[in-house]
Structure formats: C-alpha cells, structure tokens
Chains A and B, each alone.
Chain A
C-alpha cells in the first residue's frame, strides 16, 4: 500500500519537547514534509527533508528520517501553546507532478 500513518493525538506540557511520528510505506519517496494546520486555516509548510538525508534542524524543529524503517519524526523543542495544532507528514514519490500522499494528522495539545 501507499499509506502514511500517524498517531492521532499527542499531549505535552508547555516547555517540554514534542515528538510526532510518522511511518510511510513507499521506499521510492524523494521528499518528506511536515505541515502544520491551525484551526480554521489551511496547511502551512513547516519543513521538508530529502530522502538521502538523516536529519534536518531548523530552529526549534528537528526532523529525523530512518529510511530503512521508513520512519519520520518531527521534534519540537521547548513546545509552546502556539504550537497546538494538527501536524501532517507527507511523502512525495519519484516522478509525476504531484504524487504526494498525506498522513492522517496528529493533533498536538500543549498544556500550559
């Protein structure tokens, strides 16, 4: 199959680190992405990683990619209440305009 799976819900305390996990099935994926969706809004691209990379860091965000296990994670350091949102991972397969498959989304709740 071509599923991208995520856990549905994650709750963390403000100031802690959050780790959102994602597994995918297509080994031909070229790029993997993380998006954030706040209530009533469209998706906002947070970051992406090329499939030949293991890690990418961007300020409070760290993306880890384990290509062997087809596992992607997003770590948010020092989580803030403004980070409360739904986070989607997505993968782009090789070839074609838009063979992007989105995960089902993980709702992150940050407790003050």
Chain B
C-alpha cells in the first residue's frame, strides 16, 4: 500500500496563479482532510470530507476549494494564490471507525511558496 500520496512535494507560484494540490489514498478511507502548517503554529484544518460527494469547511477555508468525486482522491484548489498561502500543506485520511477518531495517516506534505 502506498498510503497517502501528495503531489507535488514543492511548488512556487506567482501571486494570482491557481493550482491544484493532489492527494490520493489507497486504503479506502472514508474521511479525508487538508491541513496547513505554518511556523510557530499547529496544524489548521482547511477542508474535510466524510465520503465521496461530501465536503465541508474547516477552520481556515478561505481561498481554497475542494471536491471529492471518488473515495481515493481529495484535491485542494487554490483559486488565486496569495503570499499568505505560503505554507506546508498536509493531506490526511482515516477510516470511519478509527479508534479515538484521530487522524492516523498523513501524506508527506507539499511545501508551497507564493511570491
């Protein structure tokens, strides 16, 4: 099993550009989430999904869109990149019956710089 795979690992964007961060998992997990990690701060939830066709906003959703057309994929779209979106982005997944409801599987992250 590959687990949770994120692409790309690194990306530099110009202000105003759009792009999609990819996340795929091969464990048939119902729940998937996107987080951003900024220096001196803990992870913050951007968007999450409890199953195909269902998405919802997390703590910091502005400037991002998501969709969940399949169980495996949960792409994160930046509509018009801003320097404030410079961050490390993590995708996570877990099965519906995960003990303690904890995020258990994280991707390796995408380091995004917006100039």
Where the two chains meet, the residues of A that have a C-beta atom closer than 8 Å to any C-beta of B are: 4, 31, 33, 40-45, 48, 50, 88, 90, 92, 97-98, 100-105
**What DSSP secondary structure best describes chain B's contact surface?**
mixed
A44-B106 contact given A31-B101, A33-B100, A98-B58, CB 8 Å threshold? yes
List A contacts of B56 (CB < 8 A): 97
Q: How far is the CA of A88 from the CA of B35 in the complex (A)?
A: 14
B52 within 8 A of A: no
Which residues of chain B are within 8 angstroms of A50 by Cβ–Cβ distance? Answer: 100
Q: Which residues of B contact A33 (CB under 8 A)?
A: 100, 102
Residues of B bordering A, CB below 8 Å: 4, 31, 33, 40-45, 48, 50, 56, 58, 90, 92, 99-104, 106-109
Cβ distance A55 to chain B, nearest Cβ, rounded Å: 16
